[in-house]
Chain A
Amino acid sequence: MPRLVINGLEARYGSLKVLDGIDLDVASGDVVGLIGPSGSGKSTILRTLVGLTPPAAGSVEIDGEHIDYAKPGDVRRLRDRLAIVFQQYNLFQNMTVLQNVMIAPTKIKKRAAAEVREEAVRLLAKVGLADKLDRYPDELSGGQQQRVAIARALALRPEILLLDEVTAALDPELVSEVLDTIRVLAREGMTMLIVSHEMGFIREVSKEVVFMDAGRVVERGTPAKIFDAPEEARTRDFVSKILRH
């Protein structure tokens, strides 16, 4: 059953049309990889989904429920179900690792601190940071910070996780530790929409790959189809260029 359904989504920055009618859906438990050249609008799709960039047109449904981004109540409910992790981690610098993970469930969702703490510690252990609970973000490597950011997003028990180039800011030797974390989530059946330039990884974890260019979806299909037998010239061009790197 499709969980996230996007139809005709448009977004603009001023007069620039950045998303030009995006249709996309992600079924429950699936991982969808979103690829495309720089500036094609991948980040904008994710930002629009979580309500950071207002859509100019189109519709978004989660489990059949239509989201009206002009209604603060809709956006609030939406953010209980969707979580996003950014390229630059964006951890709260004034809080320890554990506080970063605990703050939204305790202060915003008003869940009991003891219970949240237990869950936060479990999540941090899962991303391999059980021994860093009381560290501050500026005392961690980029890969560690990114794993904290993933744990922080998971602490709200989202139904769908959006990942935007979560390894792009990392030194090469730190990429794999973050990818391993995402692999575990995929195996556990987390529904994810992943934007990444790590083509090998996208190919491996995705059920479906979506290639977009200039604000439109150009082609979609299984990883084998997109990477080995793309139908569109633009896809072929992009894939061959990026795989040669």
Chain B
Amino acid sequence: MLDYTFQFGQIVPYLPRLLDGAVVALELAVLSFCGGLLLGTVGAALLTFAGGVVRRIIGWYVSFFTNTPQLVQIYFLYFALPDMGIVLSSFTAVLLGMTLNAGAYLTEIQRAGFESRRQSEMEAAEVLGFSRVQQIRYVILPHVARVLFPPLSNHFILMTLGTSMAAVFGVEELTGQALNINSVTFRSLEIFSVTALLYIAVTLVASALLAVIGTTVFRARMRMF
């Protein structure tokens, strides 16, 4: 049995700070996901259609970022770049690190989508007079969006949870705020259980929103929860 008296009353005054932290976490997740999506789309398109050298370079990028811990990647940006005269705020360093990392994962995920494109649909488009770029724009990307919406949504949720790593660099997102409050109040169990609930709330709302967008806009096959 847990021999502990929960005293949630003590942390109520700090709730607004936790909520602020949740907003920062979402900001980080959304911005790095969007940046990563852009990188990943270009990366996957190049992996599918470009020539050998470009493909090899993208392959290195993907292997590097998917085979090293994200924490180490951000440390590297945070400590190595200043030596080259580039000084980043901790928020920017984390954002940049998460974006590059997401770009690598989303390249991998989207490549599968590009490979699932139907050759026959491309041929139909070709004989209707579509250029290669028009085929990508009108036929492949909508198909890829549809097929990939569920796995991309999952990755976004993982990234939202992954933002807690930013606390290590002093970014005041949800986990960072929780650590701050903990060092003042020492009500660790209360603080971290509320923090966990906030993460759950954020991810549930995000999943539901994504499912609605996915099924209506992209006709993706996904479930609400």
Chain B proximity of A86: nearest CB distance (Å): 7
- How distant is the Cα of A76 from the Cα of B126 in the complex, in angstroms? 10
| Partner-binding segment picked from A26-34, A90-98, A113-121, A193-201 | A90-98
Contact present for B128 and A94 (CB under 8 Å): no
Check B127–A108 contact: CB distance below 8 A.
no
The answer to whether A229 has its CB under 8 Å from any CB of chain B is no
A92 near B127: Cβ-Cβ < 8 Å: no
Query: How distant is the Cα of A84 from the Cα of B142 in the complex, in angstroms?
Result: 23
- Asked whether B124 is an interface residue with its Cβ less than 8 Å from the other chain, the reply is yes
Q: Are B121 and A93 in contact (CB under 8 A)?
A: yes
Of residues 125 through 179 on chain B, the ones whose CB sits less than 8 Å from some CB of chain A are 125-130, 134, 138-139, 142-143, 146
Give the CA-CA distance A94 to B120 in the complex, in Å.
14
Measured between C-beta atoms, what is the minimum distance from A160 to chain B in Å? 13
Known A93-B143, A94-B142; judge A104-B123 contact (CB<8 A): no
Kindly state the separation between the CA atoms of A141 and B142 in the bound complex, as whole angstroms: 22
**By the criterion CB–CB under 8 Å, are B123 and A90 in contact?**
yes
Give the top 6 A-B pairs by smallest Cβ distance, nearest first: A90-B124, A94-B142, A104-B128, A90-B120, A108-B129, A50-B127
Interface residues in A59-90 (C-beta closer than 8 Å to B): 76, 79-80, 83-84, 86, 88, 90
Given the interface contacts A86-B120, A86-B124, A136-B219, does A92 sit within 8 Å of B139 by beta carbon?
Answer: yes
Dominant SS among interface residues on chain B: helix
CB-nearest residue of chain A relative to B125? Answer: A92
A156 at the interface (CB under 8 A from B): yes
Q: Which of B123, B127, B138 has the most CB of A within 10 A?
A: B127
Identify the A interface with B (CB < 8 A): 50-52, 76, 79-80, 83-84, 86, 88, 90-95, 103-104, 107-109, 136, 149, 152-153, 156
Point out the residues of chain A lying under 8 angstroms from B219, CB to CB.
94, 136
Bound-complex Cα distance A94 to B125 (A): 13
B128 nearest CB neighbor, chain A only? A104
B129 touches A51 (CB 8 A): no
Q: How many residues of chain B are within 8 Å of chain A by beta carbon?
A: 18
B129 near A79 (CB under 8 angstroms)?
yes
- Cβ of A79: which chain B residues have Cβ within 8 Å of it? 127-129
B130 CB contacts on chain A under 8 angstroms: 104, 108
Cα–Cα, bound, A107→B138 (Å): 9
Docked CA distance A166–B124 (Å): 14
CB of A153, distance to nearest CB on chain B (Å)? 8
B124 contact set on A, CB distance < 8 A: 86, 90-92, 149
23 contacts between A and B (CB under 8 A): A51-B127, A79-B129, A80-B129, A86-B120, A90-B118, A90-B123, A91-B124, A92-B121, A92-B124, A92-B138, A93-B118, A94-B139, A94-B142, A94-B219, A95-B142, A103-B128, A103-B138, A104-B128, A107-B134, A107-B138, A108-B130, A149-B124, A152-B128
Q: How far is A52 from B126 in the complex, measured between Cα atoms in Å?
A: 8
A107 to B133, CA, bound (A): 12
A149: chain B residues at CB < 8 Å are: 124
- State how many angstroms separate the Cβ of B223 from the closest Cβ of chain A: 19
Residues of B close to A80: CB separation below 8 A:
129
Q: Across the interface, which residues of B come within 8 angstroms of A104, CB to CB?
A: 128-130
Cα-based distance from A93 to B121 in the complex (angstroms): 8
CB A188 to nearest CB in B, in angstroms, measures 21
Determine the chain A residues whose CB is within 8 A of the CB of B138 once the complex forms.
92, 103, 107
Known A-B contacts A94-B142, A136-B219; the reply to A108 vs B128 at CB < 8 A is yes
User: Which B residues touch A109, using CB under 8 A?
Assistant: 129
A67 to chain B, nearest CB (A): 14
For residue B148, give the distance in angstroms from its CB to the closest CB of chain A: 12
A101 to chain B, nearest CB (A): 11
Q: How far is the CA of A90 from the CA of B120 in the complex (A)?
A: 6
Interface contacts beyond A104-B130, A108-B130: sample of 16 additional A-B pairs, CB < 8 Å, sorted by A: A51-B127, A52-B123, A83-B128, A86-B120, A86-B123, A90-B118, A90-B124, A92-B121, A92-B138, A92-B139, A107-B138, A109-B129, A149-B124, A152-B128, A153-B128, A156-B129
Chain B residues, Cβ within 8 Å of A92: 121, 124-125, 138-139
CB distance from B93 to the nearest CB of A (A): 39
